[in-house]
């Protein structure tokens, strides 16, 4: 369900709203989304012993909940809870009358663009073409499930098939070696590099990591330094079609990105220029760059054609990413296999995996 429909039901019930969770991005976004439709949060439930710095709103324990609230609505407040069956809530909390999960808050906040209600109908022929390019059935299922999630707010099918590990997951239908040359566009704090190293036993290749956010870049550098990881070059810049300086909203979170009203200014480089200048024989390109994927792909066209890397491209920031990324990459490559996977039960983390046929694991 979308938040507007959940809010309508909650108002009809007329009982307190409790969020199980506190001080997480998921919790804050859920509360904000409900408040946009006039739903106030009664309290946040803490069920562990963690020390927290500050909580905006009433924080209660499970004992207080049981003794003071005979009936209430429960909102899932931790991202991992979104994967739990509702029965977990009903069995544990006797006063819980309804359980909801807020999955479209990123759309409401503008972190990702929402889909139009007629997206699937309006783009039927193009979406059918894309699905015909997929090289396994899971891609077709995941693709349809992601569109249903975005259009209808229904994540039932996504949760059945999602992979929690992103980019470098087990049983991927492609071959990785120890000597990969990896471009990590949107490297954040090094989370994808960690997964890459675990998956490849990184030995003898290279990594170039791009991260424009000042706070996050420092976390990335600290991670690399503290783990003595050799063969990695970290660049505090973004990637795009050409060299430029762009307005940027840097807040130290995973959703920092280029914005017209951004308070900061960042340098942007083209991948083709970096590859050419460094002689970096790229074998994998990953992009999670908050809507800059199309621009960055255009700036990597020469490298993609020359080196035929595996492409791991996030396709959820813009409402036409599924189509535009397909068309952009498809115009550059031949003899590639297309895959699609979902990595989150909310309206993001839908990723294209585009693999040269010679690297497909048959």
In the predicted model, what is the mean pLDDT of residues 314-341? 97
Residue 338 and residue 229 share a domain: yes
Same domain, 48 and 156: no
Q: Do 137 and 226 belong together in one domain?
A: yes
Among 41-50, 67-76, 153-162, 208-217, the least confident range:
41-50
Let me know whether 176 and 263 are in one domain: yes
From 73, 102, 131, the end of a domain falls on 102
Residue 255 has pLDDT above 60, yes or no: no
Whether residue 77 is contained in a domain is answered as: yes
For 24, 29, 58, the CA distances from 21, given in Å and listed in that order, are 7, 12, 12
> Residue 262 — pLDDT band, cuts 50, 70, 90?
low
Model confidence at 283, pLDDT cuts 50, 70, 90, reads very high
Q: Are residues 32 and 79 in the same domain?
A: yes
Does residue 110 belong to any structural domain of this protein? no
Do 247 and 352 lie in a common domain?
yes
Whether residue 108 is contained in a domain is answered as no
Mean pLDDT (whole number) for 256-277: 83
CA-CA distance, 315 to 308, in Å (whole number)?
20
SS3 assignment, position 154: coil
CATH assignment of the domain containing 175: 3.40.50.150
Residue 217 in any domain: the answer is: yes
What's residue 234's pLDDT?
Answer: 97
Rounded CA-CA distance 213/188 in Å is 8
Question: Tens of pLDDT along 165-209?
Answer: 999 999 999 999 989 999 999 999 999 999 999 999 998 899 999
Q: Tens of pLDDT along 199-244? A: 999 988 999 999 999 999 999 999 999 999 888 999 999 999 999 9
Return the bridge partners of 313, or none.
Answer: 287, 352
Is 71 a domain residue?
yes
For 294-322, write each residue's pLDDT tens digit: 999 999 999 999 999 999 999 999 999 99
In this structure, the answer to whether residues 229 and 295 fall within a common structural domain is: yes
Residue 249, domain extent = 119-359
Residue 251, Cβ density class (10 Å: 0-12 exposed, 13-18 middle, ≥19 buried): middle
Cβ atoms within 10 Å, residue 309: 25
Residue 53 in this model has a pLDDT that exceeds 90: no
The answer to whether residue 95 scores a pLDDT higher than 70 is yes
Domains held by the chain: number: 2
Same domain, 344 and 241: yes
CA torsion sign, 47 to 189 to 343 to 7? positive
Q: Please indicate, yes or no, whether residues 223 and 302 belong to a single structural domain of this protein.
A: yes
Give the pLDDT of residue 246. Answer: 86
At 250, is the pLDDT very low, low, confident or very high (cuts 50, 70, 90)?
A: low
Between the two ends of the chain, the Cα-to-Cα distance in Å is: 39
**Contact (CB, 8 A) for 41 and 17:** yes
Domain check: are 78 and 127 in the same one? no
pLDDT at site 277: 96
Give the mean pLDDT of 122-149.
98
């Amino acid at each position: 369900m979308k938040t507007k429909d959940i809010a309508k039901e909650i108002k009809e019930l007329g009982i307190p709203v409790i969020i199980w969770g506190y001080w997480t991005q998921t919790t804050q976004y859920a509360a904000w989304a409900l408040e946009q439709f006039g739903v106030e949060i009664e309290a946040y439930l803490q069920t562990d012993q963690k020390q927290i710095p500050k909580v905006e709103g009433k924080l209660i324990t499970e004992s207080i909940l049981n003794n003071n609230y005979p009936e209430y609505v429960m909102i899932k407040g931790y991202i991992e809870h979104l994967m739990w069956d509702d029965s977990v809530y009903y069995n544990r909390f006797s006063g819980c009358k309804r359980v909801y999960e807020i999955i479209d808050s990123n759309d409401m906040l503008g972190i990702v663009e929402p889909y139009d209600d007629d997206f699937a109908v309006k783009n039927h022929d193009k979406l059918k073409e894309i699905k015909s390019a997929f090289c396994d059935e899971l891609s077709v299922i995941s693709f349809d499930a992601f569109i249903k999630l975005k259009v209808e707010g229904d994540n039932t099918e996504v949760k059945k098939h999602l992979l929690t590990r992103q980019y470098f997951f087990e049983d991927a239908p492609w071959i990785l070696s120890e000597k990969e040359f990896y471009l990590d566009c949107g490297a954040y704090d090094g989370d994808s590099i960690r997964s890459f190293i675990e998956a490849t036993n990184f030995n003898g290749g290279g990594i170039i990591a791009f991260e424009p956010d000042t706070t996050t870049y420092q976390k990335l550098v600290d991670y690399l330094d503290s783990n003595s990881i050799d063969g990695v070059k970290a660049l505090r810049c973004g990637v795009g079609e050409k060299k430029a300086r762009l307005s940027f909203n840097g807040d130290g979170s995973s959703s920092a990105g280029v914005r017209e009203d951004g308070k900061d200014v960042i340098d942007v480089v083209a991948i083709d220029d970096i590859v050419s200048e460094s002689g970096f024989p790229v074998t994998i390109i990953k992009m999670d760059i908050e809507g800059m994927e199309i621009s960055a792909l255009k700036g990597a066209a020469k490298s993609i054609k020359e080196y035929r890397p595996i492409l791991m491209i996030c396709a959820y920031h813009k409402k036409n990413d599924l189509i535009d990324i397909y068309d952009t990459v498809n115009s550059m490559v031949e003899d590639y296999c297309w895959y699609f996977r979902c990595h989150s039960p909310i309206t993001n983390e839908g990723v294209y995996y585009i693999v040269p046929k010679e690297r497909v694991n048959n």
